[in-house]
Amino acid sequence: MAEKSKKTVWTVLAVLAGVGLVVCLGLLLRPEAAAVPQPEGRPASQAVSASEPAASTPEVSQAPESEPQPVVMPEGYEQLRADYPDIYAWLEMEATAIDYPVLQRAGVDDYYLRKDLDGNYAVAGSLFTEGSYNTTDFSDPVTIIYGHDMADGSMFGSLQPYCETMTLDEDALFYIYQPDRRLTYQIFAAVPYDNSHILYYNDFSNEQVFENFFADIFATRSFHANLAPELGPEPGDRVVILSTCLRGDPTYTERFLVMGVLIEDTAALSS
């Protein structure tokens, strides 16, 4: 009887041990939640849950391109163009009295040398270019505008007094206007020069001729000269030269030239 009780006890202990083993194995083999890998160096408190949506990258809005501002034409320019077909542009240089139309008479280069807009004789003449050498759209490598050095300051009478002493920097500019167009020129040289015909003797479409001419300009040594080689043109640039008589020259054989290189064309900006 005692032996039977012992067997019963051992049987119960074996069953309990078996149940305990099963429970332990179940705990050991239970799958854990998948660990979310953390970025290197990120604190655990800032861990991103696997179910948390990734932060979206903010879109960078592109600033709209600013449209070119309408060109404000010089007062009276449109009416003068309508009245005088030879007017094709307007020249303006701030801080001087230069604020005039530019003309060109087909077939007669020097027509406006001593004529006003009406074609009447006038000592002061008008500002003009030569159709034999220059177009009227300022696309030539070099365009020359001629005007008299008038003692009363009219036409190009204020050109030399102002330009031979001005500071040649980003503010040294002159402007040429055409319908709905403004061309801005950076002045880089104001120099005395002989009275040879520059456009006749120099083919500026040739790069070497272009470079040599302006190298000679920058080599000018005169107390009338005002030079800024760092602002000078390169082949492919477009230059306008303002040409007048050299003030104080008793022989009237010398010229005073102010040179500017095109730095902005509103027609190109709007195209």
- CATH code at position 122: 2.40.260.10
Q: Note whether residue 28 is domain-resident.
A: no
Q: Which residue has the tokens 């055409």?
A: 178
Q: Note whether residue 19 is domain-resident.
A: no
Into how many domains does the chain fold?
A: 1
| Pairwise CA distance, residues 239 & 262, whole Å | 6
Q: Note whether residue 64 is domain-resident.
A: no
Q: Each residue's pLDDT tens digit in the chain (271 positions)?
A: 445 444 554 454 454 545 454 444 444 445 444 444 444 444 444 444 444 445 555 454 554 555 667 889 999 899 999 999 999 999 999 999 999 999 999 999 999 999 999 999 999 999 999 999 999 999 999 999 999 999 999 999 999 999 999 999 999 999 999 999 999 999 999 999 999 999 999 999 999 999 999 999 999 999 999 999 999 999 999 999 999 999 988 888 899 999 999 999 999 877 6
Alpha-carbon torsion (186, 105, 267, 175), positive or negative: positive
Residue 201 lies in domain:
77-270
By the 10 Å C-beta count (0-12 exposed, 13-18 middle, 19+ buried), 114 is classed as middle
DSSP 112: G
Q: Note whether residue 91 is domain-resident.
A: yes
Q: Note whether residue 111 is domain-resident.
A: yes
Q: Note whether residue 114 is domain-resident.
A: yes
Q: Note whether residue 143 is domain-resident.
A: yes
| Pairwise CA distance, residues 270 & 70, whole Å | 10
Q: Which CA distances in Å does 114 have to 87, 98, 144, 155?
A: 16, 18, 17, 12
Q: Which CA distances in Å does 110 have to 145, 178, 192, 198?
A: 11, 22, 22, 15
Instruction: Provide the whole-model pTM.
Output: 0.76
Q: Note whether residue 26 is domain-resident.
A: no
